[in-house]
Amino acid sequence: MSICFILNGKNVATDSPADTTLLKVLREEMHMYGVKRGCETGECGACTVLVDGENINSCMMLVGEIEGKSITTIEGLTTDGELDPIQRAFAEKGAVQCGFCTPGMIMSVKGLLNRNPNPTRAEIKEALSGNLCRCTGYEQIFEAVESLIEGRKSNNNG
């Protein structure tokens, strides 16, 4: 029996066995190559997606668990060709080098801001502690998130 779910706002279905990882289905069936395959053991965060708004490692979730749920990948963040503000902040702050960690990192930031729109530096660090980056040293990534939050505050006050 097919497993039905919503992917980036569209109804989709998979006939893969229920014990297939969500990562495998997203990449190999749905062609969402922005969902990166890193460690496949839940340690690097490269495969992060949102499930009903919460960030999870798609390599650790089985497709049998996602019936009726809404999955968002990095491909679902752009609207009418416009980058998401998180993507723009990463680009502006130079938070991207090789880019391998970037989609997962951005999806973790999205999940963080969904549950806490105004995180402190410590909360940002904690939220991104499961996303490994071998290039940036993380500082530019934290700065990108902070600049986004500051920008929102000034827009709200302005």
Binding residues (CB under 6 A) for ligand FES: these are 37-40, 42-47, 57, 59, 96-102, 133-136
Minimum CB distance to ligand FES, residue 113 (Å): 19
Closest to ligand FES by CB, 14 or 55: 55
Minimum CB distance to ligand FES, residue 2 (Å): 24
Q: Is 97 exposed, middle or buried (0-12, 13-18, 19+ CB in 10 A)?
A: middle
Minimum CB distance to ligand FES, residue 95 (Å): 8
Give the strand pairing for 48-51 and 54-57.
Answer: antiparallel
Handedness of CA 68, 24, 45, 110 (dihedral sign): negative
One-letter amino acid identity for 41? Answer: T
Closest to ligand FES by CB, 42 or 151: 42
Are the C-beta atoms of 42 and 56 separated by less than 8 Å? no
Minimum CB distance to ligand FES, residue 12 (Å): 21
Closest to ligand FES by CB, 14 or 36: 36
Q: For residue 71, what are the β-bridge partners?
A: 7, 51
Closest to ligand FES by CB, 40 or 146: 40
